[in-house]
Amino acid sequence: MKKILILTFLLILLTNRVYGQMSKEATVDCQINKTVCVQEIGYDKIKVTFDIIPKPVEFMKELTYKITLTKNDKPITDAKITMDLTMPGMFMGTNRPVIKHIGTGVYEGKGIIPRCPSGRKIWRANIKIERNDTSSIVSFTFEGK
């Protein structure tokens, strides 16, 4: 009985270690299933709010990507946004949903995130924002279900 307990304990330890290494490949910085995620572009202080609905974010289902741009609480309406969805550490095909300005600094697009055959769940949205001859990229790393 004691042996089994020790073996179980070692197995849990090992599993945690392997899982820990897997998750090291990419760190989730955006809790998309709970909230919206915000980042600021350093040099021009544009606030980028990123959201995916519905929640939780499920693979193989139609999703709406919503990006809101503001500066000093005022909407930025003249940006061009391109989004590239990638799986960190693994090529999952090109996934670039078309993002369009729908009004008052809100940019939206629709698409699907495929399910990874290896069981990985972490994705990264690279969002390129072009405006007034400058461009910058912000990335949000999140986990789907």
Binding range to Cu ion, per CB under 5 A, among 8-16, 45-53, 56-64, 82-90? 82-90
Binding range to Cu ion, per CB under 5 A, among 20-28, 29-37, 75-83, 120-128? 120-128
- In the complex with Cu ion, the residue whose CB is nearer, 103 or 119, is 119
Q: Are 81 and 112 in contact (CB under 8 A)?
A: no
**Shortest Cβ distance from residue 123 to Cu ion (Å)?**
9
Burial 10-45 (b: 16+ CB within 10 A, else e): eeeeeeeeeeeeeeeebeeebebeeeebebebeeee
| Interaction of residue 90 with Cu ion, rule CB under 5 A | yes
Q: Which residue is nearest to Cu ion (CB)?
A: 116
| Interaction of residue 112 with Cu ion, rule CB under 5 A | no
Binding range to Cu ion, per CB under 5 A, among 4-12, 26-34, 42-50, 87-95? 87-95
- Residue listed under structure tokens 């021009």: 44
Quote the CA–CA distance of 132 and 110 in Å, as a whole number. 26
